[in-house]
Every structure is written in structure tokens, then in C-alpha cells.
A and B are shown apart, each in its own frame.
Chain A
Amino acid sequence: MAKKETMTINMGPQHPSTHGVLQLVLELDGETVVNAVPHVGFLHRGVEKLAENRSYHRALPLTDRLDYLAPMSNNLGYVLAVEKLLGITDQIPERAKVVRVMMAEITRIKSHLVWLATHALDIGAMTVFLYCFREREAIMDMYEKLSGARMTSNYFRVGGLSLDLPEGFENDVLEFIDAMPGHLNTYEGLLTGNKIWQKRTIGVAKISAEDAIDIGLTGPALRASGVDWDLRRDNPYSGYEDYDFKVITRDGCDTFDRYTARLDEMRESCKIIRQALDKLQPGPILADEPSVCLPAKKDVVNSIEGLIHQFKIITEGFKPEEGEIYQGVEAPKGELGYYMVSDGTANPFRMKVRPPSFVNLQALPQMIEGSMIADVVAAIGTLDIVLGEIDR
């Protein structure tokens, strides 16, 4: 018998389907993957360290750049963490909370759209890619209208929001969520029933519930393995307990079920957004906490107190008491956690980010060992990783 030799192949960091700069060292036996080792760190920018040299306020834009496909979810996690550190969680006005939830859910749809687009493209269905980006464009427009930027929104503030909703924004959102289920059906028409799509996804990249929990998978990847766990329901924040929504779970543990779970999650998000729109009442958007929040612009321009207040907050920042907290939010990709330590100064002593993609990526070798090369790209796609968040 001939000696069995394996071939080692570098997949990435320059490869169209590794979603950025992930490098996978694959050991192949023919087309079968014997061993896979992911290498990360090509996009490391030192976000956590940078935050230590910035005031809490000025560290916020850094979080936009973690998971750049879902900036508002990152912002939300950060501001909630800082608010918890300051102990002002209860003082956030209702309107700010509702807008936060609404935008977080819009962001979830935005992120899932990119996931579906690239996942389908990796498997060869390139039309879905462009359809998804068409809808994502509508969300980008909303982002632009609301915050002024299409990607790095930097919209939430510690204590509330930076700006109120622009005129007509509710209508845009309503129009979007009215149209979205139809679009979802279009994607499903192209993929769900398609025999080739089913063949490529059913039973591919399986991970059992026990393994998923052991590894620490979160988000849709965990729920598609049958674990009913969603921070929005099980550890609510920003008023999620007042919304009526289903946590989508599946038992298939495979790529197909993760796909349907995410699609249904988008439908649920539309429902949450609709409820949020109903809840939206006029009111303040910033907590009444002068030591933390900037004064309103008209006070700054017109009154000397406002001016001093503005100077004080911007030059000195706010100083949470010494302590440490952890705040997790259910970001589109899983549990995004911020662990903040304060030493009583205006800069965080330590900001540790628990990025969902980083933890989820650990499941990759287990998912693909023994499968074909083509399944590797399917598995990377189904985990929905973003390297900006993994490498930080």
C-alpha cells in the first residue's frame, strides 16, 4: 500500500471566503480536511489598550470598529456597561431606551443580511448577495439619516442618545419592516427549497449542544443547536423585558438550521421594531445626570452655566467610582460582553471585550474536521465571524 501523505494548504489571510483576514492552515487528505488550525490577529488594532488612554466618552468610537457590520450593537453594549459602572442604569429615559432597542434590532437585521449575502456567495449563489445588499442599503440610509454616518454610527451616548430621531424617521423604519418579510421570502425562494442549497447545508458543520456549550458558542449558532438562550430574554437590558418576541431555536445543529434560525430571527426583529415604534413617546433623550451628560446645545450657547458644564465634561470627563462590572448584550453574532474596571479616574482602567465571533471561531476546527474543502467555506460562513471583532 502506498504511503498516505497529506497536503498542507494555507487558506487565507488573502482568500475570498475567509471573511477578512482569517488564516486557516488546513491539512488535506485529497479533498478531505484532516486538521484545521485557525490563526487570528492580522487585524489587531489594540482597541482594548487604546481605550485605557481615552476618557469613557472618547473610547466610544472605538467600539464602532469592533464588529463593523453591527456598530450600534457594539455601541449599545459599551454605553450600557459604562452606565452600569456609573450606576445610572435606572435613569435612562424611556425614549432613549426604546430607540436603542429599535436600532439594535435594525442592526441585527443589517448584520444578518451581510451574513446571508456572504454565506450564499460562498456557496455559489451570488444573486442572493446582491439582493441582501440592496436591503442593507436601505438600512445604511437610515443610519445616515439618524446618526450621519453609514457605518461607524457613534450614535448612542452614555446616558442616552446623541440626537433625537430626525423627521420622518419612523416612517422610513415602518416602510422597511413592512417590506422586509417579502424580501426574506425572496431569499428563501432562491435558497431554502433549492435541492443544491439543502445538500450543501443540511448536516454540514454540525456541532452538538454539549460541545456548543463547552466551547462557549453564543447567538444563533448556539440556538440552532437547540440551546434556548438569549440574553434579551434571559438577562434583559434596555427594556427588552417589555417586548414580546420569540427566541428562535432549532435542533438540527447544522448549517441549514443556523440559516433558517437567522432568517426567522430577522422576522422576529421586525416584530420587535414594530413594538418599539408603538412605544415611542416624545420625551427627553438624555438622562438628567449633569455630571455625565453633555448639556443641550442651546444651553451651552445661551447660558454661562451651560458653557461651564460643557467645558467641565469635555475636559475632565466623568469619573465612575472604583469598581468593576460586566455587561453582556445579545449582539447579532452572539453575546457581546464588556468587562470594565474603573480606578476612579476619567479613563477606564481596563476594558475587556468578549467578542462573540472570537469565541464562536473556536468551534470551527471541530466543525470541519473530516469534511470537504467546500464545507470549510460553508462553516466559516455559518459561524458569521467578523475579523474586526476577533482581532480587535
Chain B
Amino acid sequence: MPEMLSLSNDPILFLSVMVAKILVVFIVVVLIVAYATYAERKIIGRMQTRLGPTMTGPLGLLQPIADGLKLFFKEDIIPAQSSKFAFILAPMMILVPAFITVAVIPFGDFITVGGYLVPLHITDLNVGILYILAMAGLGVYGIVLAGWASNNKYSLIGGIRSAAQMVSYELAAGLSMIAVFMLSETLSLRGIVDAQAGSVLNWYIFSQPLAFCLFVITSLAEINRTPFDLPEAETELVSGFCTEYSSMKYALFFMAEYANMIVVSAITATLFLGGPAGPFAGPINLLLKIFFFMFLFIWIRATFPRVRYDQLMFMGWKVFLPLALLNIVITGAVIVF
């Protein structure tokens, strides 16, 4: 049994493996973000009897790159009446938490590098779930800031909507997660994955179906996807908090939205579907699960209308929150008795 690679036994190898892991994960996430936009346009296009992008490259495969280039060369407009610092800060405040959440997601078991065992995750925090919740909380600031700094009434309404929405749905999402770590008895994501190991039936989706549904729905709301895309609500608020943004800053918002989708899919896969467990190699299993959820999100977007702000709040506080609490009580009772 080889020893676990750590800073003390081989610092140079440890650091280079660490950097390599971070780079690989980052590049994979960025690639998925880019091609998620492509996939979304293709899939929704097909569902709506259209074709989606076809002109750039074979099957339009270069479309994300063309989009990126286009946005990059667009004039970067900062409205004269905006508060410039916050205006520039906001897109970063959204994107960074979205990306760094990925750090705690385990994407495989262990591999041996140079005679040492290397775990396939960037870091294993023993408070992993709290970290995720904290990062999700940070994301709100970006949107509120963007809405406020733009000095545009539509953006402001969008920002306020999203603040209220994310805060209230985070609560329900957090509470539905509690049931999971009541079962696993750990807050570390690696621990939760290990607790689901063995057979498919050990996955928490089977022991916690209610928590699973709640989590998927509330996280849809948290990442502002249809049917809960009120902060952007194109037909009401004209894109809401990002109305005034252009060029690369707008691209950052766009990337953050898709990065959040990936993060939420990955967390759902980790908490309820055994993470990297499955028939293939660990990372591939996880990716497949992520793709499944992303397809689901896109599918939902193509099908459902948007809910109204007050109904959204009503659902968050009066339906999902009590259900999540109920689920905790039931889980607790089952564990105790």
C-alpha cells in the first residue's frame, strides 16, 4: 500500500501534481462552459424545430469560439452614471465563486503518481458542504452589485429579485442537504461519496428522494435558470442585472451562469448519485452525470414558462422550506429509531 502524497513527503511532486490537477479541472470546466452554450443552443434549437448554430465550422462546432472572439472585440461600455469600481468588480464576484466551488468536488478515487497515492480531488475540506454554501452565498453579492452599480432601474429590480430569490432558496437547498449528511455523518464531500460506495442502491437518491427533488429544484432557482430566471427575465426586465453590461464583462456573466450549472450538477451528482461511482473511470462517470443534469436543465428551459416573483417567494418559503424541514425530521426519526 503506497503512501499518500503530501506536502511533507515530497513537496515538489506534491505541488506540481496539485497545479496539474487544478489546471486540468479548470480547463475541463471552461471547455464544458463553452460547449454547454453550444449544446444548449443546439438542443433547444432542435426542440423548437430549429437547427441551432450551423455556419461556424462543421456543425457549427466553432460557435463558442466565434462568440468569445466577438464579445472580446466588442466595445466595453461603462455607463457614465454607474459606480465604476463596483461595476467592474461585479462580474468577477460572480464568476470566481462559481469556479472555485469545483475545488471540493471529488472526481475519482486514487491514482499512483511516482509511488505515492494521489486523491482525485483538488482539496478535501472537512467542511466541504459549508464551503459550497458559502461560495453560493458569495455569488449573490456579484448580482446585487451588478444590479446596483449599473444605475439602471431594470437592473436594480433584477438585482433585488435575485438577492431575495437566492437567499431564500439557499435556505431550502441547504436544509435538503442536511438530510444527506445526517446519513453520511460527515460534511466532507469525499466522505459523502465514500458513504455511498458499494452498490448503486447505496446512492442517496434512493434513501433521500425528497431531498433530491428539493435540491434539484431549489438549485435551479439558485442559479437563476428557467423557470426561475426572474433576475434576467428577458421579456420583463430586459436581461435584468446584466442589461448594461457589454463585451467581456457580459461574457463573464454568461460564463458564470453555465459554470454555476456545472457546479450544481456536480454537487447533485456527488451528494445523491454517488459522485464518481459507476461503470467507467471515475472522472468519466462524474462527467456523464453532470451532462445528464445539464441536459435536464436545458430541457426544462425549453419547456416551461417563467414563474412570477411573488409565487417564487411563496414556493420557496411555504413549500420547499417546510418540505425540507419535514424531510430532516423524518430522516432524524428513521436514524434514531
Contact = CB atoms under 8 A, between A and B. Distances in A.
Interface of A: 7, 9, 15-17, 28, 31, 120-127, 129-131, 134, 190-191, 194, 196-197, 199-200, 372-377
A200 B304 CA distance: 12
B209 to A, nearest CB: 20
Contacts of B49: 130-131, 134
B305 A124 contact: yes
A191 B48 CA distance: 15
Nearest to B301: A126
B47 interface: yes
16 contacts: A16-B234, A28-B157, A124-B226, A124-B233, A124-B304, A125-B306, A126-B48, A126-B302, A129-B48, A130-B48, A131-B48, A191-B305, A199-B307, A200-B306, A200-B308, A200-B311
Contacts of B226: 124
A293 B303 CA distance: 52
Given A124-B304, A374-B306, A374-B308, 6 more contacts: A9-B153, A17-B235, A123-B306, A126-B302, A194-B305, A377-B235
Contacts of B244: none
B303 A127 contact: yes
B154 interface: yes
B174 to A, nearest CB: 24
Q: State the 3 A-B residue pairs at the shortest beta-carbon distance, nearest first.
A: A124-B306, A130-B48, A125-B305
A377 B157 CA distance: 15
Contacts of B44: 127
Nearest to B226: A124
Contact of A197 (B161, B305, B310): B305
Nearest to B237: A373
Given A9-B154, A16-B238, A124-B229, A199 B47 contact: no
Contacts of A17: 235-236
A196 B310 contact: no
A200 B315 CA distance: 14
A375 B238 CA distance: 15
Interface string B311-333: 10000000000000000000000
A372 B238 CA distance: 16
B226 to A, nearest CB: 6
A130 B303 contact: no
A372 B235 contact: no
Contact of B304 (A129, A196, A376): A196
Interface of B: 44, 47-50, 153-154, 157, 161, 226-227, 229-230, 233-238, 302-311
Nearest to B50: A130
Given A127-B48, A131-B48, A372 B306 contact: no
A226 to B, nearest CB: 25
B305 A31 contact: no
A270 B310 CA distance: 39
Given A16-B235, A124-B235, A130-B48, A374 B309 contact: yes
A263 to B, nearest CB: 16
Contacts of A129: 48
A9 B152 CA distance: 10
B233 A196 contact: no
Contacts of A124: 226-227, 229, 233, 235, 304-306
Given A16-B238, A127-B47, A134-B49, A194 B308 contact: no
A5 B90 CA distance: 27
Contacts of A199: 307-308, 311
A196 B235 contact: no
Contact of A373 (B157, B302, B305, B311): B157
Given A196-B304, A196-B307, A121 B235 contact: yes
Contacts of B157: 28, 31, 373
Given A127-B48, A372-B310, A196 B236 contact: no
Given A7-B153, A130-B48, A373 B236 contact: yes
Nearest to A198: B305
Contacts of A31: 157, 161, 309-310
Contacts of B305: 120, 123-125, 191, 194, 196-197, 200
A6 B48 CA distance: 40
A28 B237 CA distance: 13
Contacts of B310: 31, 372
Contacts of B308: 199-200, 372, 374-375
Nearest to A123: B305
A132 to B, nearest CB: 11
Contacts of B154: 9
Contacts of B47: 127
Given A130-B49, A377-B235, A372 B309 contact: yes
Contacts of A190: 303
A122 B304 contact: no
Contacts of A191: 305
A7 B154 CA distance: 11
A276 B311 CA distance: 46
Nearest to A125: B305
Contacts of B306: 123-125, 196, 200, 374
A124 B236 CA distance: 10
A94 B54 CA distance: 50
Nearest to B164: A31
Contacts of B161: 31
Nearest to A18: B235
A85 B233 CA distance: 50
B235 A122 contact: yes
A200 B307 contact: yes
A50 B328 CA distance: 72
A200 B310 CA distance: 11
A125 B304 contact: yes
Contacts of B309: 31, 372-374
Among B153, B229, B236, B304, residue most surrounded by chain A Cβ atoms (within 10 Å): B236
